[in-house]
Structure 1
Amino acid sequence: MEVYSNENEQVDALRQFFANNGKFLAVGVIIGIAALGGWRFWSSHQEGTDKAASAEYQQLTSAMQADKPQTLDAVAKFASENNNTYGALASLDLAKQYVEANQLDKAIALLQSGLKDTKDANLQAVINLRLARIQLQQSQADAALSTLNNVKGDGWTAIVADIRGEALLSKGDKQGARDAWSKGAESQASPALKQMLQMKMNNLS
């Protein structure tokens, strides 16, 4: 089981994977349920569609700049028109821009939309973690805790524990925060993350 020290690393890995392998993403869904002739036609069409979406996504997000609203609008339009993994990645990238501009409601709406656009468990985990952080930033601790329950996979245990502890501490539950951070520190987390969680526990004393 791969363990992630932060969601940014996994976003980069997912983005590279989909950029390199977009043409293969839908193959498994179709095998066994389509006639040979229909499969060949669909495969050719889907390959072209995925390549086009991948190229447009990379072009738009590379040009995105906070001081150029038209570039943000272009990414938003792409995200709304592509109900697939590329649309989800675009929503994730654009939400980051909105967070930096302190437009948290817009960021939340984008992330919630992005969750509906992908079935990739790792990408869903990243989006949910970002969403929980923003909810916590908005003093919505209960909403953040609920969102964290949607993050699946042992590789995310420590990061989930970190955010969960912060949410519980914001509610005045010091023991709950300690328990969450302790669980994260005992997981297969990176040394740096374990040290940070231990420091947080020490600061509670």
Structure 2
Amino acid sequence: MEVYTTENEQVDALRRFLIENGKALVVGIVLGIGALVGWRYWQNHQSEGAMSSSLAYQQASEALAKGDAAGVSAAETFSAENKNSYGVLSSLQLARYHADKGEFAQAETQLRTALTQTKDVDLQALTALRLARVQVQQGKADDALKTLDTITQAGWAAMVADVRGDALVSKGDNAAARAAYDKGVAANPPQALQALLRMKLNNLPG
């Protein structure tokens, strides 16, 4: 089941960048539906430690891609031992793996871990947005709304409104959901997200 419809390309591209370059990065990501809006980052000096972390991350990522218990365990160990950008990406990959299998409780655990691994506000916003989506999938609409309240940057307004509307629909509050979707449209998001929001508005009962 696809829970993530907006960020996978961005995270995959960032993962490839880290693997190919092997540099310690602090990353902020600004996302748009269906396309890469952009990301910002600055790099620290390259060191043997950074190269070692990059190699270990690549190995953990490849192990997880196999989809077996050993691979999942290797990725979980790497995530737990690395409180940095590599650890965040590993946690996000694990969350995506579990969500795709319908294991939303495990996905939530990994996303909560990811939130502790970075202080970058955009990467935290990305993680919180994914967490809110997973919480909606679990029927935890109130938890999802609280999670969304932690995302305060203006650049995320439309995406937050989209997930907020979904959470409110799941609660049966169609009037509040309509207000949320309207707010998302008013934020003038990229065309794909705007079309999605308008479709959801049109599908709401009068």
The two structures share one fold, judged by TM-score above 0.5: yes
* 1:75 is the counterpart of 2:112: no
Structure number with bigger Rg: 1
Task: State the secondary structure of the residue aligned to 2:188.
Answer: coil
Write the deviation string for residues 134-157 of structure 1: whole angstroms up to 9, x where unpaired. Answer: 110010000000111122422222
- The residue aligned with 1:168 is 168
State percent identity of aligned pairs.
43
Answer 1 or 2: which has greater strand percent. Answer: 2
TM-score, normalised to structure 1, is: 0.80
> Structure 2 matches for 1:18-57, cutoff 5 A?
18-19=18-19, 20=21, 22-23=23-24, 25=26, 47-57=47-57
SS at match of 2:47: helix
Aligned pairs for 1:3-152 (under 5 A) are: 6-16=6-16, 18-19=18-19, 20=21, 22-23=23-24, 25=26, 47-65=47-65, 67-152=67-152
Query: Can you list the C-alpha shifts for 1:58-106, whole angstroms capped at 9, x where unaligned?
Result: 2321332364211111000100111112111101101111112222221
* Gap change, CA 1:57 and 1:97, over 3 Å in 2: same
Q: Which residue of 1 aligns with 2:33?
A: none
In structure 1, list runs of 5 or more residues that go unmatched: 26-42
Structure 1: which amino acid aligns with 2:94? L
CA distance in 2, matches of 1:12, 1:133: 19
SS of 1:102's equivalent? Answer: coil
Q: What is the distance in 2 between the residues matched to 1:162 and 1:14?
A: 24
Q: Is the 8 A contact 2:79 2:87 kept in 1?
A: yes
CA contact (8 A) 1:165 1:180 kept: yes
CA displacement at 1:184 relative to structure 2: 0.8
The structure-2 alpha-carbon separation of the partners of 1:97 and 1:85, relative to structure 1 and needing over 3 Å to count, comes to same
CA contact 2:81–2:87 (8 Å) conserved in 1? yes
Report the count of equivalent residues. Answer: 183
Relative to 1, partners in 2 of residues 1:24 and 1:93: Cα closer, same or farther, differing over 3 Å? Answer: closer
Between the aligned partners of 1:170 and 1:24, the Cα distance in structure 2 is 38
Contact 2:91 2:114 in 1 (8 A): yes
* 2:195 corresponds to 1:195: yes
Q: 1: distance between equivalents of 2:66 and 2:188?
A: 37
Assess if the C-alpha contact under 8 Å between 1:11 and 1:126 holds in 2: no
User: Gaps spanning 5+ residues in structure 2: where?
Assistant: 27-43
For residue 184 of structure 2, what is the aligned residue in structure 1? 184
The alpha carbon displacement at 1:193 in A equals 1.0
Does the 8 Å CA contact 2:25/2:85 hold for their aligned counterparts? no
Q: Which amino acid aligns with 2:176?
A: G
Distance 2:15 2:125 in 1: 14
- Listed one character per residue, the Cα deviations across residues 125-174 of structure 1 (whole Å, up to 9, x for unaligned) are 11111111111001000000011112242222221111100111111211
